[in-house]
Amino acid sequence: MSQTDSAAGDTAHKTVDVLVLGGGTGNKVASAAAAAGLETVLVEKGPLGGTCLNRGCNPSKMLIAHANRVNAVADADRFHVDVTLDGVDVPAIVEEVHGTLGDIADGMAESKRNEENLTLVNAEGQFIDDRTLRADGTEYTAEKVLVAAGTRPLVIDAIDGLTDVDYLTSSEALRLSEPPERLVVMGGGYIAAELGYYFDALGTEVALIEMEDSLLPREDDEVAERFTDIARRRHDVFTGYRVTSVSEADGTITATAESADGDTIEVSGDELLVALGRRPNTDRIGIENTDIALDDRGFVETDDRLETNVDGVYAIGDIIGDHPFKHAADYEVEVVTENLVDGADRTVDYSGMSHAVFTEPQVAGVGRTEGQLQENGVEYVVGRAEYADAAMSRALKIDDGLVKVLASPDGELLGCHLVGHEASMLVHEATLAVRHGLSVEDVADTIHVHPSMNKVLESAFRDAASKLA
């Protein structure tokens, strides 16, 4: 492991081969560079593993797994099973989840400290020029740089009174050991949906306020509307309302929201969760001291090799804003490692980039939505299948769910969107088809195990195939 030079009273300076800012998926590139014999510095102020491991998909899905167990008990009477739920030890759940993940992050850091050619700097890093970072009293310069500094929850200061109340973001909500009696959620995207589902299972009354006409507004409209209808069964859902102000009195937080036609509502609770999306951390890393180009939202711009406009400076992960998913970042690690470390000329191919929302039912999708096809004047046919018609749904007593297949008139799969049980697993059949150019007939003609849940996907593809030119 390389050592950092120091000089008492002066800023030390060290020139290395590779600089990586951000210890999420960026840590994998740092290790690959070090393993290739390149002297590498990894700068990360927080625990390794980034948002996914510490404040995002890992803790949220672990907590949601507990919510699913609670709901399975509550639903047992439909299967003529007489059980009672005596209680949920939320503090124990939260401690176990974050203890497990904390140990993993600590183990990653220890491993990095023992890797040859790699120096881990646990400090905030600030660019002072295109290829130089200042961190922990030392300036590090390299010809090859990777920016992987991620994002953080978006808080809109323009909402009157918001910064004057004690609100939660997803980071704090994931660590709450005492569920609120009533939770008001600003936003209706995947973070709001998942955390709303989790807290509802723990007995919290949840109210969601979303300015668009449905929850999960980035999903296919039909899927989003179906999910919104399902969410209304367990939450208070206010769609088409934009929060204009927030106030707090006597331990109660009230959000005032207004619709496009001027209707005003007030929604109150003992906790407020701000889930309005995420913003890039480019404003915290001194990027203004570089020539690295940003888009109008503040995300780092890259070409199809994941290189910025500055030669030798690359970027991956949420900070580039294209596909804010951990699986996208893992794929980008492969591409950027070949280019930055091995000197290759590999380009990214995001076709077949699927995603999922881990509520119950789940939501998943791959490819283009019907709205996107209409907006771009693309001809298409639609295949549909209802979960309720599948034999496995009868076994599981599932009465709602939809698979929607979008195809060109000649059979090219353009998109597939699902809302229903295990949608995150079912979508991969369509993901494979989009990624490798399989037609809807190819999928429809594949023999599916009966009575697996995948039969509902087969039905949707058969429906689409029957409508081809």
Those residues whose C-beta lies under 8 Å from the C-beta of residue 415, and which sit 6 or more positions away, are: 220, 365, 366, 367, 368, 369, 370, 372, 373, 405, 406, 434
Q: Catalytic one among 80, 98, 235, 450?
A: 450
Radius of gyration of the chain (CA): 24
Angle formed at CA 149 by CA 61 and CA 356, multiple of 5 degrees: 30
Q: Which residues are paired to 245 by β-bridges? A: 160, 256
**400 with 388: CB under 8 angstroms?**
yes
Closest CA to 374 of 402, 425, 415, 329: 415
Cα of 153 vs its chain's centroid, Å: 12
Report in angstroms the alpha-carbon separations of 27 from 19, 171, 312, 342.
Answer: 11, 21, 18, 17
Query: What is the rounded distance in angstroms from the CA atom of residue 437 to the CA atom of residue 413?
Result: 8
Is 13 among the catalytic positions? no
Query: What is the rounded distance in angstroms from the CA atom of residue 43 to the CA atom of residue 160?
Result: 36
Residue for token pair 């849940």: 453
**202 with 179: CB under 8 angstroms?**
yes
**Tokens standing for residue 46:** 């927080």
Report in angstroms the alpha-carbon separations of 88 from 7, 67, 145, 175, 199.
Answer: 55, 10, 47, 15, 12
Which residues are catalytic, by number?
Answer: 450
